[in-house]
Amino acid sequence: MRIAIDAMGGDHAPHAQVESALSAAAEWPDTHLILVGNPEVLQPLLGQGAPRNISIESAMEIIANDDEPVKAVRRKTNSSMVVAGRLVKDGLADAMISAGNTGALMTVGLLVVGRLKGIERPGLAAIFPTLDNVGVLALDMGANMDAKPEHLLQYALMGSVYRSKVHGIHKPRVGLLNVGTEAAKGNELTKLAFGMLEEAPINFVGNIEARDVLDGKCDVIICDGFSGNIMLKSLEGAASTIFKLLREELTSSFTSKLAAAALKPSFRRVRDRMDYNEYNGAPLLGVNGLVVKGHGSSDAKAMKTAIRQTRTAIGNGLISALADEISGK
């Protein structure tokens, strides 16, 4: 299988991208990694003894994080992200991964790779950590700001297929993000979507409140892109605030510093379990090819996690399974 990596996108690009590709190439000889970017930058990083299953695809432009997505994708046709998308579109790669500008990546998915037949609006998924360590797939995280009930239905169908094909979960439980658990709760969107989800060929477990998402009550949580983004960033913000407060408190006296030092490994484990990088590799579901978003701050380890998930998705025929599900085959 062939995976195109946008080597120039992300806070730690190109180093993290090259390092993860080298590690993946060594671990998985059946996988060909295509690093897309400026060869003059990438070649020295790869060094002389680069393995045969890594190649460089030249792309001289870079889409920056503050570029306006649609404009950047239309104008920077020789950027690493757009070229990676074109490799997928042309069948020269089975998937692409980028840790760059999220809006631009969604635009590449829509305009370069193209939508899956029957999908109006692709959705961006993310894996949240849960107490039981299984994680929950949440979508849409912000691809589609004004979702309609039928979009939520399509997210539910696609999320179910993803969990079953990529994570091997039998009959994944699908929940609808809402303000209360009763069927009649919510806004117009969730009320209409609730009825459609009940009729859908999925394991729908009803409304789930935001405070219960991390408890592992469902395997897929469905929401519109605006609410999803609010949830994602609220969780990030709360975690970051609590760890800041803890650091403040635990360095406030000599005794607490001593005790805290003894607990450092424990704190690190909790931090890691709340860390989205551990679950890196959010797919853009609904495009006609595998487009995977890495967290902007991805290091080499996080990029490798994304590569691992992408391999599983390719190996299990995710895209054709999604196409079959949407067309009702």
Residues in the site for a copy of itself, rule: CB under 8 A? 131, 142, 145-146, 177, 179, 186-188, 190, 209-215, 223-227, 229-242, 244-246, 249-250, 252, 255-256, 258-260, 262-263, 266-267, 269-270, 273-274
Torsion of CA 54, 57, 58, 60, to 10 degrees: -90
* Spatial contact of 14 and 39, defined as CB atoms under 8 Å apart: no
Taking the least distance from each CB to a copy of itself, the nearer of 171 and 268 is 268
Taking the least distance from each CB to a copy of itself, the nearer of 272 and 324 is 272
Taking the least distance from each CB to a copy of itself, the nearer of 52 and 258 is 258
**Least separation in angstroms between CB 18 and a copy of itself:** 29
Taking the least distance from each CB to a copy of itself, the nearer of 14 and 225 is 225
**Least separation in angstroms between CB 95 and a copy of itself:** 26
**Least separation in angstroms between CB 121 and a copy of itself:** 13
Integer Cα distance of 220 and 228 in angstroms? 12
**Least separation in angstroms between CB 35 and a copy of itself:** 29
Structure tokens at 300: 């080499």
- 293: nearest Cα among 162, 89, 124: 124
Q: Are strands 136-139 and 290-293 parallel, antiparallel or unpaired?
A: unpaired
Taking the least distance from each CB to a copy of itself, the nearer of 36 and 279 is 279
- 284: nearest Cα among 255, 319, 311: 319
Alpha helices in the chain (DSSP H): 15-27, 39-46, 69-75, 80-89, 102-107, 149-167, 188-199, 225-250, 254-262, 264-273, 300-315, 318-326
**Least separation in angstroms between CB 262 and a copy of itself:** 4
Give strand pairing partners of 207.
176
Taking the least distance from each CB to a copy of itself, the nearer of 1 and 192 is 192
Taking the least distance from each CB to a copy of itself, the nearer of 188 and 199 is 188
Q: Are strands 123-128 and 282-285 parallel, antiparallel or unpaired?
A: antiparallel
DSSP 287: B
**Least separation in angstroms between CB 150 and a copy of itself:** 17
**Least separation in angstroms between CB 318 and a copy of itself:** 27
**Least separation in angstroms between CB 136 and a copy of itself:** 12
**Least separation in angstroms between CB 65 and a copy of itself:** 11
Taking the least distance from each CB to a copy of itself, the nearer of 240 and 320 is 240
Integer Cα distance of 60 and 40 in angstroms? 10
Torsion of CA 314, 118, 153, 68, to 10 degrees: 80
Taking the least distance from each CB to a copy of itself, the nearer of 71 and 171 is 71
Integer Cα distance of 162 and 183 in angstroms? 26
Edge-first strand order for the sheet with 203-209 is 54-58, 32-37, 2-6, 95-98, 290-293, 282-285, 123-128, 136-139, 220-222, 173-178, 203-209
* Spatial contact of 213 and 177, defined as CB atoms under 8 Å apart: yes
